[in-house]
Amino acid sequence: MEQDISNVKYVGQATATRLAEHGITTIEQLAAMDIEVLAAIPGIGATTAPLMLASAQALLPTTAIEAEAEEVAPVTSTDEPVLAAETVLEEADDDVSDDAFTEEEPAEVSDKKAKKADKKAKKALKKAAKKAKKQAKEAKKAERKAAKKADKKAKKAAKKAAKAAKA
């Protein structure tokens, strides 16, 4: 079941056309893109790119393999394997190289980047909600002001009509 790329939040018809010009026609392609590359496309800024990617990734269907990996991941991140690794390191000689540990660092860095992008996305959504609330408040205030002005004008016209009727 192929979903249309315009189902992604922040992707309208114009943005979908721009993405298609750059060879991005599916949600999978969009979700696999790098934030910097996406932000470089005209009309998509650094603020919108992480939001768009998060929305595209949320729309991707989860396969059975990914579901199994997600189930297994929490088991491997328990405290017991970490303690065992620390014990092995304490007992090991200085012959152990640091190459075994450098493989885990990029995963942590990507986790940090993902968390940072998620935090930026949440902040942007919160900011947009706050702005919408402020605009609604201003619109309501303008509506009340217009109604008050119309009432004042009507009273003035009635007063003028009453004065003309007396004369």
Residue 23 pLDDT > 60 = yes
Residue 58 pLDDT > 60 = yes
Helices (H) and strands (E) in the chain, counts: 8, 0
Q: How far apart are CA 26 and CA 12, in angstroms?
A: 14
Q: What is the pLDDT of residue 150?
A: 92
6: CB partners within 8 A, 6+ apart: 12, 13, 16
Residue 30 lies in a domain: yes
Domain span including residue 29: 1-61
Residue 97 lies in a domain: no
pLDDT tens figures, 34-50: 888 888 888 888 888 88
Residue 10 lies in a domain: yes
pTM assigned to the model: 0.37
Q: What is the pLDDT of residue 9?
A: 85
Q: What is the pLDDT of residue 162?
A: 92
Q: How far apart are CA 128 and CA 96, in angstroms?
A: 51
| C-alpha to C-alpha distances, 167 to 51, 112, 163, 164, nearest whole angstrom | 69, 82, 7, 5
pLDDT tens figures, 86-102: 555 555 544 555 555 54
**Number of domains into which the chain is organized:** 1
Residue 40's identity, in one-letter code, is: A
Residue 42 lies in a domain: yes
Residue 67 lies in a domain: no
Q: Mean pLDDT, to the nearest integer, of 26-30? A: 87
Residue 111 lies in a domain: no
Residue 25 lies in a domain: yes
Q: What is the pLDDT of residue 141?
A: 93
Residue 161 structure tokens = 């009509």
Q: How far apart are CA 142 and CA 1, in angstroms?
A: 47
CATH of the domain at 14: 1.10.150.20
Residue 103 lies in a domain: no
pLDDT more than 90, % of the chain: 16
Task: Identify the CA nearest to 54 among candidates 78, 76, 74, 27.
Answer: 27
Q: What is the pLDDT of residue 43?
A: 85
